[in-house]
Amino acid sequence: MQILVPFAVERPKTRLGDVLGSEERRGFARAMLADVLGAIHETGREATVLATAPLDVDAPVEVDDRPLTDAVNARLEGAVAVVMADLPLATPPAIESLFEPAAEVVLAPGMGGGTNALVSAHPNFGVDYHGASVRDHRRIADEIGASVATVDSFRLAVDVDEPADLAEVLLHGEGAARDWLVDAGFVLDAGDGRVAVRRE
Amino acid sequence: MQILVPFAVERPKTRLGDVLGSEERRGFARAMLADVLGAIHETGREATVLATAPLDVDAPVEVDDRPLTDAVNARLEGAVAVVMADLPLATPPAIESLFEPAAEVVLAPGMGGGTNALVSAHPNFGVDYHGASVRDHRRIADEIGASVATVDSFRLAVDVDEPADLAEVLLHGEGAARDWLVDAGFVLDAGDGRVAVRRE
């Protein structure tokens, strides 16, 4: 099965702009991509990076500068998995859990209604990544009569979009993204309530 | 195995104060507790509510008004599970996943470094719920030589502390807490980025 990992080459992770400069965001995004590709590789599967521009990475690359939804829908032939590039907590077992349910559409929700990973094996399924996509993907699957399974994974649910998410990487990450944050001086800042990060 | 569900009777969920009044927070906290107790009950296991004051609920209640850490540590005899009361996405399979690893300490992390559920079967293990407790619980287990397993569950990771968490309940909940929010007029507010809630 083909596994696509979409990746925005030029201006990734704009919502981290308060804590990382633009060059840093590019570096950190590359580190997260390396973690995701590494986790997929360790399952014995291979990924293709679906990139908005050419990039040098240890995987085959397809360049498509259309919006994410269009670029993915153009490639939903046969059984295809789509795994987001900003999941630095993804482990090989978490990736493999996407392929275990016997359903035509498998969804891994992200925090805040996103769809962090999915598998489509139904010819009429199409993605729509705008807004509460996990709800929309359930609806689309229902409309076409596709069976749906949902994967229950914290490691796939944590996508890194906002500064608070960096705490999850420091707490639970074990790869390049965590190392990148540590090298950049980020540390946990524990108080009451949820743990945050600060930069030293 | 005993399963403890700690519950703050008087002033629950203060961080929801911007969107819910104090009486509403009590009602919503009770709905979440009902969901957690229901999920545990459906596994065929039984829970005891560890409450800060007497309350009327469909489960045995032990009252202990000490801080959470002290009240739990006073009860870690033999094999004990502790499941937080603010996990309205918990399903029976997610609860059951706590009992699958063959480890002396099993941890289910929450968003922001919390420990939303744990199982202790090591005589020297003790909890410390202040700060980044999942990190502290790993350290404590290491110090006493206890084997540790971590459960990877989005449904156990989502505890409801802050207004943004209510979106997860509307998106993924199927029980009393979701019904409570719907009855109170909460709807999803999807835009760019993560989905929020608004009240109509």
pLDDT tens-digit readout, B104-126? 999 999 999 999 999 999 999 99
Does B195 sit within 8 Å of A132, measured CB to CB?
A: yes
ipTM score assigned to the predicted complex: 0.95
Provide the 10 A C-beta neighbour count for residue B45: 18
pLDDT for residue B192: 75
Q: Which residues contact A21 (CB under 8 A, 6 or more apart)?
A: none
The pTM of this model reads: 0.96
pLDDT for residue A193: 81
**pLDDT over 70 for what percent of chain A?**
100
Does A168 sit within 8 Å of B131, measured CB to CB?
A: no
- Shortest CA gap A135–chain B (Å): 7
Closest CA to A85 of A188, A166, A12, A181: A12
Q: Which residues of B touch A164 (CB under 8 A)?
A: 112
Closest CA to A101 of A172, A146, A151: A151
Q: Which residues of A touch B188 (CB under 8 A)?
A: 113, 132, 135
- The predicted model gives B1-9 an average pLDDT of 96
pLDDT tens digits for range B178-194: 999 999 999 999 877 88
And the tokens for B106? 């099993």
**Residues A51, B40: Cα–Cα separation, whole Å:** 44
Closest CA to B82 of B51, B122, B118, B50: B118
- DSSP structure string for B100-123: SS-SSEEEEE-GGG-EEEEEE--T
And the tokens for B62? 């032990």
Best of A116, A152, A153 to mutate (most B CBs within 10 Å, chain B): A152
